[in-house]
Structure 1
Amino acid sequence: CGTLVTSDHIRTDGNARDERNRDAAQRNRTLRNLPMLTGFTGGPTEWRNGSVYNPADGGTYRGTITMTNDNTLRLRGCIVAPLCKTQTWTRIQ
């Protein structure tokens, strides 16, 4: 699992809400501590078959996570392959 702890948007507005969620009932929840990564299996360096929630567009996508080193993850979310987007996430220290 993975939870959104901070982002540029959260640093600007600590009470930012999940306004673009496709489920109107969830649009009032705060972005801080929002569950973003769920249902992944595998490890210790690659996890598959999980869901990635993107608060920027309110969509949930199939995903994979690859640990590239102790402080970096490569997260890939797909609508349908090959329609995918990959991001590199770095641990806050």
Structure 2
Amino acid sequence: MKSFKTIALACTLGLLPLSPAAAQSGDITGLWNTGSEGGKVEIYRCGKAYCGKIVDAARLRTNPDLRDVRNSDPNLRTRRLKGLVVLRDFTGGPTNWTGGPVYDPETGDGASSGKLKLQADGKLQVKGCVAIFCRTKVWTRAR
């Protein structure tokens, strides 16, 4: 049986998943697996809100200089994907945030508004909405 110190150290280093209690603390900052194309987004504080930027994806490992070629706006297709802000100005908490815009570089689609919901299991629901049409993805915290 593992000692309490070993378990505490593993949690601190991110080797064990967050407990439901930790998930409910409302801390969404850090690295998240998007579940699409090996993508990873870092959520960070931007002023009094939260933002998220692309830090990794399978396509970026092949070509670190990859551009936003799938964007529906031709004027934005030369933007680099690495470091691209895909979540902007989310406020609220401790388990629900609203903000926007939200951008999906996989499809090139954006939404002017979105919602984030931290689930009890530590997963993050990311929802982008255009008018009454919404799409939701579930992200998992990266270790």
Q: TM-score, normalised by structure 1?
A: 0.81
Aligned counterpart for 1:49 among listed residues 92, 99, 103: 99
Number of matched pairs: 92
- Structure 1 residues 59 and 44: CA distance shift in structure 2, 3 A: same
Q: Compare CA radii of gyration and give the structure with the larger one.
A: 2
Deviation string 1:31-76 (CA, Å, 9 cap, x unpaired) is 1111000122211211013211111232221210001147421101
State the partner residue of 1:73.
Answer: 124
Aligned counterpart for 1:30 among listed residues 62, 75, 80: 80
Which consecutive unaligned segments of at least 5 residues does structure 2 have? Answer: 1-50
Q: TM-score, normalised by structure 2?
A: 0.56
Richer in helix (by share): 2
Question: Equivalent pairs: percent with the same residue?
Answer: 40
State the partner residue of 2:57.
Answer: 7
**Contact preservation (8 Å) 1:72, 1:88:** yes
Q: Using CA pairs below 8 Å that are at least 6 residues apart, which structure has the higher relative contact order?
A: 2
SS at match of 1:10: helix
Structure 1 stretches of 4+ with a deviation exceeding 3 A read: 22-25
**Which AA in structure 1 matches 2:60?**
I
C-alpha RMSD of the superposition: 1.9
